[in-house]
Chains A and B, each alone.
Chain A
Amino acid sequence: MSSSESPSGFGVVLFRSVQGALGAERLLVAAGVAHKLIAVPRHLSSSCGFCVRFAWGDRERIERLLPGDRLGVEGIVGL
């Protein structure tokens, strides 16, 4: 799942598991990157889950910081 546009100025990182989202949160806190753990928006998933919302301008930094394999990143989507 991917998206290269963000009308709202925000994007979200989606994970296969809650643990992945929590692990990403720890890494972003340590790196000082502004973010927010939110419920996955309904238009992206009908099941309960966390995703990490971030400012779209930080996308490249986010991609560098989060090891997709280890955290189970499913995708990065613009909101």
Chain B
Amino acid sequence: MKKTVDARGLSCPQPVVLTLKALDLADEVTTLVDNQAAVENVTRLAHSKGCSVEVSEKEDGIYLTLKRGGAPAEPAAIGHGVAGSTAEAPAGPLVVFVPSDCFGRGPSELGERLMGAFFHSLLEVRPKPQTIIFMNSGVKLVAQGSRALDDLEALAAQGIDVLACGTCLGYFELTEKLAVGRVSNMYDIATALLEAGKVVEL
């Protein structure tokens, strides 16, 4: 059975949510979108569900055709892992969740510096997380001007997936200033948290 989803004009994460619903009812879903972010998000969904995906750009939009069983399912919709880093995790990837730009509760002068020191130390300790998720004021850490930027870039270069909440970047007017990692949405973030073997919240 085939279904078509017209997600043009819809903002994140609606194209992914509608595509996912359609995949429950059909083996082949064609989703029509009108922006690159939606293409990437729906493609990521396809990979996480073991679907093949074909992208076709036409005058009226970008068509993504997802077919069930076309590819092996990935355990999490969160990109690449870090070789050898998850052996100590109970089951599933290790995820670090950063909901604030301050480490712990207390003076921001101290908390901001503790957070910077944490990411610097993370370069040297094991196990490495597979994913680091930045949310709420935590997204300030992945934006230009962050004191943790060079360390986060080094962590990303080691293969750690750095996700920044797109809604939060928008709220703090930092969307254009994202300097490391990639913009993510609540759907991907919720999936990463729920599929994690262990979540460490700072």
Chain A interface (Cβ < 8 Å from any Cβ of B)? 18, 22, 25, 36-39, 50
Contact = CB atoms under 8 A, between A and B. Distances in A.
Interface in B99-120: 109-110, 113, 116-118, 120
Nearest to A40: B117
A22 B109 contact: yes
B110 A39 contact: no
Given A22-B113, A25-B113, A38-B116, 16 more contacts: A18-B110, A22-B109, A36-B120, A36-B147, A36-B150, A37-B113, A37-B116, A37-B117, A37-B147, A38-B120, A38-B121, A39-B117, A39-B118, A39-B121, A50-B113, A50-B117
Nearest to B118: A39
A50 B10 CA distance: 47
B109 A39 contact: no
Nearest to B120: A38
Interface in B118-151: 118, 120-121, 147, 150
Contacts of A38: 116-117, 120-121
A65 B192 CA distance: 47
A64 B118 CA distance: 29
21 contacts: A18-B110, A22-B109, A22-B113, A25-B113, A36-B116, A36-B120, A36-B147, A36-B150, A37-B113, A37-B116, A37-B117, A37-B147, A38-B116, A38-B117, A38-B120, A39-B117, A39-B118, A39-B120, A39-B121, A50-B113, A50-B117
Interface of B: 109-110, 113, 116-118, 120-121, 147, 150
Contacts of B118: 39
A13 to B, nearest CB: 15
Contacts of A36: 116, 120, 147, 150
